[in-house]
Chain A
Amino acid sequence: DGGITQSPKYLFRKEGQNVTLSCEQNLNHDAMYWYRQDPGQGLRLIYYSQIVNDFQKGDIAEGYSVSREKKESFPLTVTSAQKNPTAFYLCASSNPREGTETQYFGPGTRLLVL
């Protein structure tokens, strides 16, 4: 059963702490993405990766970091430099070789600050 999984569902961060959100896909997609969703602001792109070992900053990359060591995995670290991390984080993947630009989303991780 192909899809995208994100964990944990809820994550609590203390002041000054780095936290890592997991994203795994078994769709054999080349491209993966991280978005942040805040009420009334839609989806904002944090980072994206077109291929293993390569990634680019999106529109709001400050305070975040990623890695892409495996095709299936694209973890996102929210660093202590991100001063307002409370949001709903969504991971997505796509297969640009299909030529459709369609992205498929995971269930999301809600990050809350203690």
Chain B
Amino acid sequence: QKEVEQDPGPLSVPEGAIVSLNCTYSNSAFQYFMWYRQYSRKGPELLMYTYSSGNKEDGRFTAQVDKSSKYISLFIRDSQPSDSATYLCAMSGGTGFQKLVFGTGTRLLVSP
């Protein structure tokens, strides 16, 4: 079983829809959670960073962490064609220097 599981998609939605992207994880030591957006043939770009449980909002994006369920989500409101990309979750935790563990990414397609 992978430490981080993420549905590869593709997830296809019409413009204006609310999008929900999710990851599950197995390591209860994880406490730092990130979402990256990656356009085709480009490097990942940090979208959201959350420490421990709770919600964080930034414009149309909301990141949610439920540590009791080992489940994190990224919500995109009023989705736009420019949101079409692959979204990677990443997480780390524990004492000392910790590497990031990435999900495989979910490909999102927003049609006009």
Interface, chain A (partner B; CB < 8 A)? 4, 6, 31, 40-43, 45, 48, 50, 58, 88, 90, 96, 100-108, 110
Contacts and interface: CB of A to CB of B under 8 A. Distances in A.
Interface residues of B, number: 23
A45 B43 contact: no
A96 B92 CA distance: 12
Contacts of B49: 100, 102
B104 A96 contact: no
B71 interface: no
The winner among A6, A58, A104 for most chain B CB atoms within 10 A is A104
B66 interface: no
B49 to A, nearest CB: 5
Interface in B17-53: 32, 34, 36, 41-46, 49, 51
